[in-house]
Amino acid sequence: MAASLLEYLRGLSPIALSRLYSDPHTCQAVLRALPPLSRQYLLRLVGAHGRLAAEIVGAWPLPTAAAALEHKAALEQLVALRLVELDPVGREYALHAGLCEQIGSSICLARGAQAAEARLAADEARPSVVQLERHAQRTWEDVLQCVLTPPRRLLPLAGCGGKSTLQQLLLSLRLLEATGAEGAEGAEGVEGAAARWASTRAARRFVLLPIQEQVWRLMLEYMELTDTVQPGARDATLSFLMRLGSHAVGSDCSVHSLTELQRQVLSDLLLFGIAYQREESSPRFYATPLAHALLSGSAGLATSRRSEGFLILETNFKLYAHTSSPLWAQVIRSFARVEYVLPNLVVSSISREAIRDAVESGIEWDMIVQFLERNAHPLMAANVPVLPETVVNQVSLWAQESSRMQLADAQFYDKFESIELFDDVVQYAKDDGVYLWHKRDQQHVGHSALIVAAHGHQRMKAFLKSKK
């Protein structure tokens, strides 16, 4: 699965990409999302009116092995995204048709694609970046809460024309599973019906993932789901996401410039915290940092402000979470024993039993460690390494405990008629490579016993038959 939008684009067909690149927002978004060197190369090509001889391009890197590798990767990225093409004889690099003009004009226009937006009246109550980030984080926590404790009331998705729900989306992501026969019932929004979904093991893993990966997985599935209900929705969503990503966080966009389909998608993005709109009737909306994270994966978050960590892990295996969100107590419970839940603190301790339970429920220990590291409190972040080494070490040892022993099926034979027969059979098993263990007892032949691997049973049976 693609880990970011950029990677996802690499997997699209040339036709689909051509369609996307015809949109100035997409072009600008892709340009922003590119790794620095690739971006630099692309701009050089724009400056050269879209065409450059391969020799010139080849002379760009410094004559070191590392530089050559970077150069190759940067070009490879551009080619894979079909932004740049090398002619069949390998003599000239050419920019994708139309791209040169799109990018060139957006650079010249200084404010880029945003200048093309319909003019809006001055924004009096513009939210700050910090506010948007908090909003996005809290809204996304609500989504995660839905993943862990699915609400009974159905939450329709506008992008599907109301024909599908958030629960459906989570269901197809295998984060929820239907329980009970009521799943078939059509009455939407009925409270009081027994819970129809339960969260799955995958859900407990999902909540430990980095937030941008969670959002991206959800959006990928969202595009699939909406496209099946309303053909064309995938492209609409994709270009809309591109457009959101091309805006600086906190700058406003006009609702009026959106197509009908995009407006529907917008209302879902508001639900996920990827975009923000003050009221349903507001003429403007804003991109949140989540939209940027989507575009470039983890690289995108490095440029945006790193979200504040809240976890403190001590050397005595105590884990303290500075949070007022009830969600985290639930998440932490999947790998630690929660002792206290306070209004703004969750106290828990990591133990051998808790880790063993976590491993049994399909959570890998390094997932836990990464989760702890990613969300480490600034006080901890100053440490090198961030987490206490001894705890990480011990967690890995606990986790590996359960995988030290493997069970395999085997076949047990006893009550042999003679010791000679027994010896023959043991020899056969050894020759056949299925032998595991034997106990030879000459006085009480009946007590002699042999164990072979289960897959050897058929051949052993045949051999025993032939001996009779």
Partner 1 sequence: MLGSAAASASDPPELPSVASMKLALALHAPPKVHGAATFTEMKLCANHQSRPFWLLPDGRVILDSSSTFYKEACEFLVAISEPVCRTRFLQEYQLTHFSLYAGASMGLKTEEILGQLRKFSKLSVPIEVVTMVEECTARYGKVKLVLQKDRLYVECQDPEILEQLIRDPVLSSFRVIRQPEIETDETHALAEEANADSATAMDENYLEAARLATNEDEEGTGRMINFEVDVSKVKEVKERCSRDINWPLLEEYDFRSDTSNAEVPIELKSDTQIREYQSKALSRMFSNHRARSGIIVLPCGAGKTLVGIVAATTVKRSCLVLCNSSVSVEQWYAQFRMWTSIDEQHITKFTANNKEMPHPDACVLISTYNMISFSGHRSVEAEAIMQDIRGREWGLLLMDEVHVVPAATFLTCTTRTRSRCKLGLTATLVREDGKIEDLNFLIGPKLYEANWLELQANGYIATVSCAEVWCEMTPEFYREYLKASKAHQRLLYAMNPNKFRSCEYLIRFHEARGDKVIVFSDNVFALKKYAVKMGRPMIFGATSQNERMLWLQEFKAGGRYNTIFISKVGDTSIDIPEANVIIQIASHFGARRQEAQRLGRILRPKANAVEGFNAFFYTLISRDTQEMYYSTKRQQFLVDQGYAFKVITKLADMESSSDLSYSSREEQMELLSQVMSENAADIAAHELAEDDATQDLERRSGSGGMTAGKSVASRNKRSMSDLSGGSGLAYNEMSKKPKPAIFRERERMLKAANKARNSASIADNFL
Choosing from 241, 253, 380, 426, the residue that interacts with partner 1 (CB under 8 A) is 380
| Nearest approach, Cβ of residue 26 and partner 1 (Å) | 25
Does 451 bind partner 1 (CB under 8 A)? Our answer is: no
Does 337 bind partner 1 (CB under 8 A)? Our answer is: yes
Does 329 bind partner 1 (CB under 8 A)? Our answer is: yes
Burial class of residue 386 (count of CB atoms within 10 Å of its CB; 0-12, 13-18, 19+): middle
> How many degrees, rounded to 5, is the angle at CA 59 between CA 54 and CA 61?
120
How far apart (Å, rounded) are the C-alpha atoms in residues 468 and 459?
A: 15
Does 69 bind partner 1 (CB under 8 A)? Our answer is: no
Helix (H) or strand (E) holding 176, with range, is strand 176-178
Does 145 bind partner 1 (CB under 8 A)? Our answer is: yes
In 3-state terms, what secondary structure has residue 349? strand
- Decide whether 69 or 342 has the Cβ nearer to partner 1: 342
- Decide whether 240 or 310 has the Cβ nearer to partner 1: 310
Does 124 bind partner 1 (CB under 8 A)? Our answer is: no
Within residues 291-310, the interface with partner 1 by CB under 8 A covers 308-310
| Nearest approach, Cβ of residue 382 and partner 1 (Å) | 11
Q: Are 186 and 130 in contact (CB under 8 A)?
A: no
| Nearest approach, Cβ of residue 381 and partner 1 (Å) | 11
How far apart (Å, rounded) are the C-alpha atoms in residues 179 and 183?
A: 7
Does 390 bind partner 1 (CB under 8 A)? Our answer is: yes
Region near partner 1 per CB under 8 A, out of 65-73, 362-370, 388-396, 417-425: 388-396
DSSP for 329-341, written as a single string: HHHHHTTSEEEEE
Does 131 bind partner 1 (CB under 8 A)? Our answer is: yes
| Nearest approach, Cβ of residue 226 and partner 1 (Å) | 17
Does 361 bind partner 1 (CB under 8 A)? Our answer is: no
CA 66 to chain centre: 30
Does 210 bind partner 1 (CB under 8 A)? Our answer is: no
Choosing from 55, 124, 260, 279, the residue that interacts with partner 1 (CB under 8 A) is 279
Region near partner 1 per CB under 8 A, out of 92-100, 219-227, 244-252, 315-323: 315-323
Phi, psi of 50 (to 5 degrees): 90, -5
Sign of the C-alpha dihedral computed for residues 76, 82, 88 and 93 taken in this order: negative
In 3-state terms, what secondary structure has residue 408? coil
Does 149 bind partner 1 (CB under 8 A)? Our answer is: yes
- Decide whether 166 or 425 has the Cβ nearer to partner 1: 166
How far apart (Å, rounded) are the C-alpha atoms in residues 394 and 36?
A: 39
Residue 121 CB contacts under 8 Å (≥ 6 apart), including other chains: none
Choosing from 377, 438, 457, 459, the residue that interacts with partner 1 (CB under 8 A) is 377
- Give the tokens for residue 404: 């030290």
> How many C-beta neighbours within 10 Å does residue 161 have?
14
The candidate with the shortest Cα–Cα distance to 273, out of 368, 137, 166, 181, is 137
Choosing from 115, 118, 193, 397, the residue that interacts with partner 1 (CB under 8 A) is 397
Sign of the C-alpha dihedral computed for residues 376, 146, 206 and 290 taken in this order: negative
Q: Which residues bind partner 1 (CB under 8 A)?
A: 127-128, 130-132, 134-135, 138-139, 142-143, 145-146, 148-149, 151-153, 155, 166, 267, 270-271, 273, 276-280, 308-310, 312, 314-318, 320, 322-324, 326-327, 329-330, 333, 337-345, 347-348, 352, 377-380, 388-391, 393-394, 397
